[in-house]
Structure 1
Amino acid sequence: MLLPILLQSVLLISSVFSFDFQPEKEAEKPNIVVILCDDLGYGDLGSFGHPIIKTPSLDRLAEKGIKLTNYYSAAPVCSPSRVGLLTGRSPNRAGVYDFIPGPKLSEDNRDLVHLQADEETIPAMLKSAGYATCLSGKWHCNSKFNSPEQPQPGDFGFDHWFATHNNAAPSHENPNNFVRNGEKVGELEGYSCQLVVDEALDWLSKKKIESPFYLQVNFHEPHEPVASPQDLVAKYLPLAENENQAQYFANVENMDKAVGRLLEYLEENHGENTLIVFSSDNGPETLNRYARSFRSYGSPGDLKGMKLWTTEAGFRVPGIVYWMGKETASGTHDEVVSGLDFLPTFAELSGAALPQRTIDGESFAALLDQGEFLRTKPLIWSFYNAINDHVVAIRDGDWKIMARLKNGNAYLPKIENLYEGNEALLKESELADFVLYDMKNDRGESVDVSSDYPEIFEEKKNRLKAEYQGLLADSPFWKRN
């Protein structure tokens, strides 16, 4: 009889210790909230210099936390940028080279493109460390959305997801294309950013388990088709060039109001330990670049280019980090930080194990703790469908070097996808026409300084060649069947 009694005692003690101490251990892990805008330009927030648009919620977040002036998205367009953020890897390694259209048969196999099942993501990584996970907003990581033919958000670690394939349709107002955990929702009343926050707050309020959480809020704003509340539009009409510009300004402020609602809830309910990261997927859309972009009045600030460019405005966007309830560094910081860095940073802060594969990002936890972060890896972008000619670029310390791609005597045409039809062309092409910019003194990329710094130019050119060849070697070519 003694052994059963002892066994019961051990089990009882174990359960007591488990009950008493496990929640405390879990509480040490921060809740993590990622807020991602769509096509928000570097100069579109008040705290980043916009002279008209009012963004008090995000301005306060930047004032209390860390304002990142050298923050980069993983790509100058949406789908690859989102894939890079989720995986911590260059989106080229995942085979996502441009935005992902719907499943219309394409000669270049673009209809096949999707985030593949073997890619390991932030929510899956954090879920393994005890986190509850939720996605609310835009997905845009596969061509066949809400289809069993391709993995969906739930297959990458999201316990709960409320999402659209791409844009809110028919516009931000009363969208009808949201899907919740595989079920179509139908037409909703209200504006997309507010509906996305409604869903996030509902999930948070119903979350039963006492565990840390990862919440990713992906706004559609201010991507076209832009639609904004009339009271906000009326507020900006006297300050804008026309009603379309007033619509854009109001769109950004409406997003800021949605952020304010989310921050207020987090402060009241999870203010003791919640890390918040805010950014945009890429730079601002060019006005009238396509028929429906007539309200695209986004600002690149003092940067060169726009969305779809590999110059700075294509992927240098607002970045803000704030850790509720923790004493961290604050103020304006010019350390080079990327959306690729989220995964390794969250791994370090949560104690989760890093995926056992190439990770291009680096943890910036030291920036939070010590106010300093020294990047050891260059950031590389290879965007074959860039509007500008220099489609390959790296940011390495204070320097940025860019190049065109050439095959024989001809420059490569614009390429939307890598597939069997252009594999030989890509692999036989070489980098050419290098340009070098001093980002510390010329972030507008106005002067090529390659001839002024020949040794640095040669070093950076060799590094770009090596980085690009390594990336290309790891880039899959989509093949049918």
Structure 2
Amino acid sequence: MPGSVARALRPGSRPVTEKPNFLFILIDDLGWMDLGYYGSTFHETPIIDQMAREGARFTDAYSAAPVCSPTRASIMTGKYPARLHLTDFIPGHKRPWAKLTVPKFRRQLPVEEMTIAKALQTTGYVSTTIGKWHLGGRRPTEYGFDQFVFSNQDDNDKRVGRFTGEALRFMERYKDRPFFLFLSHDTVHIPLEANEELIAKYKAKLKPGHVQRNAVYAAMIEALDDSVGRLLKKLDELEIADRTVVIFTSDNGGLIQKYTGSGPVVTSNAPLRSEKGTLYEGGIRVPLIVRWPRVVKPDSVCNVPVSSVDFYPTILDLAGVEGASGHSFDGTSLVPLLKQTGQIERDAIYWHYPHYHHTAPCGAIRQGVFKLIEFYEDGRLELYNLEADIGETNNLADKEPARAAELRKKLSDWRGAVDAQMPTLNPNHDPAKAHEWG
């Protein structure tokens, strides 16, 4: 459906309201260390850095999965991917001779789910999704969105300019309506592409001490930063910045290199361990910035662990919208953290990734400063104190067996509660070919 837009509404059909607007900017594969404000010394993101200074930066924000589709499903529904049985990117991939056979997960977000857009629609919000969808073949309008814009046309910038322009036009058209604008970029996903002048700039900037060294990727991030600047400038021009909540995050951790081991080295997530497709911090810890003038205190930093399942209840809470009767979700509203009025109540955050990618099938739990990873092939446990060891270099499972056993039980109980699909032993297992993709 390239370049398509559905169900346009009359811009003046509702009066101006004080309900907040939501501009949700989701980046594809942006790593925790890819922004200047999060520590990059090579990438240049002055506008996003300034947005962080004007709002709240979360240091311990997580995607609900280490790949795109399940995280996107968690954002839309507030549910863990394990509960939805949508646990891998659509359509997924296989290792036919690996030790385990991965479960048959859903290739489509169930249309009966009460999404953010459906819930907001009941109280007069107009909503659009622009860019990458990746939740199956059904149109976003079947999930409550009034409009959608996809495009296969490219201008050597991963469609950043095209999607940004569509977002600007949407805000202009509906500035007098409460809106939910879900801008889901293809950037910075591979294959990498960017303006040649920007690429040359970063090639010239490279020095021996830089940990991140891909000039094309750096150019893509600068183009993204420029996009954010255009959006924020438009909010100011339309005089709606004060009633617009801007959320900026990523669908999973940064990619170091393609899962096949081929292609360029894209970025570095150091000091975090590993990358996209794993449940190490490099695969699931993501940047998160929330700006809402006069409500979110400028230059605030939140160290509370949060998850992409939390966006659903947070947005509905801020909009004063109650979910549909009988609709449950796993997330927790972050409003007390954003307004600094209190803490949130949550025992732990969970992950379930029963697939092969940059890692073998596994699950994880974070409770407080401790994080346990359980690998399903052999039951191996890895326990880390993230406060003391953010790089996950010191496995404490043997030193603290009681804590490891307690967290393992919590993880197991949670899997049962959400009816998580588990991998099974593969009758075609061939150790000599287990690493091969089919």
TM-score category (smaller protein): 0.7 to 0.9
Structure 1 residues 321, 90: closer, same or farther in 2, change over 3 A?
same
- CA deviation string 1:244-294 (max 9, x = no partner): 921111011111111110111112321121111111011122325448743
Alignment of 1:74-85 (within 5 A): 74-85=64-75
**1:420 — aligned with what?**
none
Structure 1 residues 448, 112: closer, same or farther in 2, change over 3 A?
closer
Q: Distance in 1 between matches of 2:77 and 2:251?
A: 14
Matched, 1:173 2:155: yes
Structure 1 counterpart of 2:135, one-letter code: C
Q: Which of these residues, 194, 214, 218, is aligned with residue 228 of structure 1?
A: 194
Question: 2:129–2:149: 8 Å Cα contact kept in structure 1?
Answer: yes
- CA deviation string 1:124-144 (max 9, x = no partner): 1111121110111111110x3
Of stretches 347-356 and 328-337 in structure 1, the one that deviates more from structure 2 is: 328-337
Matched, 1:316 2:288: no
SS at match of 1:385: coil
**1:212 — aligned with what?**
178
Q: Distance in 1 between matches of 2:261 and 2:131?
A: 24
SS at match of 1:136: strand
Q: Distance in 2 between matches of 1:79 and 1:385?
A: 13
Q: Distance in 1 between matches of 2:78 and 2:347?
A: 13
Matched, 1:246 2:215: yes
Matched, 1:272 2:239: no
Question: 2:336–2:342: 8 Å Cα contact kept in structure 1?
Answer: yes
SS at match of 1:36: strand
Q: Which of these residues, 283, 294, 306, is aligned with residue 337 of structure 1?
A: 306
Q: Distance in 2 between matches of 1:74 and 1:301?
A: 20
Q: Distance in 2 between matches of 1:375 and 1:34?
A: 24
SS at match of 1:259: helix
Matched, 1:258 2:227: yes
Matched, 1:128 2:110: no
Matched, 1:361 2:331: yes
**1:154 — aligned with what?**
141
Runs of 5+ in structure 2 lacking a partner?
1-13, 425-438
Structure 2 counterpart of 1:248, one-letter code: Y
Question: 1:224–1:293: 8 Å Cα contact kept in structure 2?
Answer: no
Structure 1 counterpart of 2:362, one-letter code: V
Normalised by the length of structure 2, the TM-score is: 0.84
**1:184 — aligned with what?**
none
Question: 2:355–2:361: 8 Å Cα contact kept in structure 1?
Answer: no
Q: Which of these residues, 42, 46, 54, is aligned with residue 56 of structure 1?
A: 46
Structure 1 counterpart of 2:381, one-letter code: F
Q: Which of these residues, 50, 71, 81, is aligned with residue 91 of structure 1?
A: 81
**1:197 — aligned with what?**
164
Q: Distance in 1 between matches of 2:29 and 2:296?
A: 31
Q: Distance in 2 between matches of 1:68 and 1:85?
A: 17
Structure 1 counterpart of 2:26, one-letter code: L
**1:460 — aligned with what?**
407
Alignment RMSD: 2.9
Alignment of 1:298-317 (within 5 A): 298-317=267-286
TM-aligned CA deviation for residue 361 of structure 1: 0.8
Runs of 5+ in structure 1 lacking a partner?
1-21, 145-150, 175-189, 412-431
Q: Which of these residues, 349, 374, 397, is aligned with residue 379 of structure 1?
A: 349
Q: Which of these residues, 68, 79, 100, is aligned with residue 58 of structure 2?
A: 68
Q: Which of these residues, 375, 378, 389, is aligned with residue 404 of structure 1?
A: 375
Question: 2:257–2:263: 8 Å Cα contact kept in structure 1?
Answer: yes
Question: 2:214–2:267: 8 Å Cα contact kept in structure 1?
Answer: no
- CA deviation string 1:302-356 (max 9, x = no partner): 1111000011111101111111343536422211111110110111111111243
**2:431 — aligned with what?**
none
Q: Distance in 1 between matches of 2:123 and 2:402?
A: 46
Identity of aligned residues (%): 32
SS at match of 2:79: coil
Instruction: Kindly tell me the number of residue pairs found equivalent between the two proteins.
Output: 399
Structure 1 residues 132, 92: closer, same or farther in 2, change over 3 A?
same
**1:449 — aligned with what?**
396
Q: Distance in 2 between matches of 1:23 and 1:397?
A: 45
Q: Distance in 1 between matches of 2:193 and 2:91?
A: 22
Highest CA radius of gyration, 1 or 2?
1
Structure 1 residues 390, 437: closer, same or farther in 2, change over 3 A?
farther
**1:440 — aligned with what?**
387
Question: 2:28–2:252: 8 Å Cα contact kept in structure 1?
Answer: yes
Question: 2:82–2:420: 8 Å Cα contact kept in structure 1?
Answer: no
Question: 1:100–1:110: 8 Å Cα contact kept in structure 2?
Answer: no
- CA deviation string 1:36-60 (max 9, x = no partner): 1001111111111111110011100
Structure 1 counterpart of 2:413, one-letter code: A
Question: 1:285–1:293: 8 Å Cα contact kept in structure 2?
Answer: no
Question: 1:273–1:326: 8 Å Cα contact kept in structure 2?
Answer: no
**1:115 — aligned with what?**
109
SS at match of 1:456: helix
Q: Distance in 2 between matches of 1:115 and 1:327?
A: 32
Structure 1 counterpart of 2:246, one-letter code: I
Alignment of 1:2-81 (within 5 A): 23=15, 26-27=17-18, 29-81=19-71
TM-aligned CA deviation for residue 442 of structure 1: 1.2
Give the structure with the higher percent helix.
1
Question: 2:102–2:354: 8 Å Cα contact kept in structure 1?
Answer: no
